[in-house]
């Protein structure tokens, strides 16, 4: 049996409020360097689809505990509240265990 925590992949799909796509992307781009430096983050990318007003955040974490710590940190700082100003619908948040 493997006692090593499994890596966690996170995919978040965000649809911008019409007319606020550029502001959403700019805000997310400012947050990405901090995400990449956060303990346990292996990879973090933004995938952009301006024709659909959509952004996908892709992250890989050493384990789910470190990823949860990151989400808590972002929430405590108010980053999610700031992003909510640009988001049309509820974010689609999916997690996967890397095989």
pLDDT the model gives residue 3 = 65
Number of domains the chain is built from: 1
Are residues 74 and 68 in contact, defined by beta-carbon separation less than 8 angstroms?
Answer: no
CATH number at residue 13: 3.30.70.100
Q: Would 75 be classed as within a structural domain?
A: yes
Q: How far is 88 from 73, CA to CA, in rounded Å? A: 23
Task: Report whether pLDDT(2) > 70.
Answer: no
Full residue range of the structural domain in which residue 65 is found: 8-89
Q: Would 18 be classed as within a structural domain?
A: yes
Nearest one of 58, 57, 48 to 21, comparing CA atoms = 48
Q: Would 33 be classed as within a structural domain?
A: yes
Q: Would 85 be classed as within a structural domain?
A: yes
DSSP one-letter string for 31-51: HHHHHHHSTTEEEEEEEEETT
Tell the residue number behind the tokens 């990318």, with chain if given: 45
Q: Would 48 be classed as within a structural domain?
A: yes
Q: Would 95 be classed as within a structural domain?
A: no
Global pTM?
Answer: 0.89
pLDDT in tens, 36-94: 999 999 999 999 999 999 999 999 999 999 999 999 999 999 999 999 999 998 889 99
Q: How far is CA 99 from CA 7, 30, 52, 55, 96, in A?
A: 8, 31, 31, 25, 9
Task: Report whether pLDDT(1) > 60.
Answer: no
Detail the DSSP E strand segments found in 1-40: 8-15
Q: Would 98 be classed as within a structural domain?
A: no
């Amino acid at each position: 049996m493997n006692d090593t925590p499994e890596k966690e992949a996170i995919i978040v799909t965000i649809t911008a409020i019409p007319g606020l796509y550029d502001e959403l992307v700019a805000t997310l781009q400012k947050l990405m360097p901090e995400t990449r430096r956060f303990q346990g983050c292996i990879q973090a990318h933004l995938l952009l689809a301006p024709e659909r007003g959509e952004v996908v955040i892709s992250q890989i974490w050493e384990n789910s505990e470190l990823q949860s710590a990151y989400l808590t940190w972002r929430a405590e700082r108010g980053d999610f509240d700031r992003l909510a100003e640009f988001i049309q619908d509820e974010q689609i948040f999916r997690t996967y265990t890397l095989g």
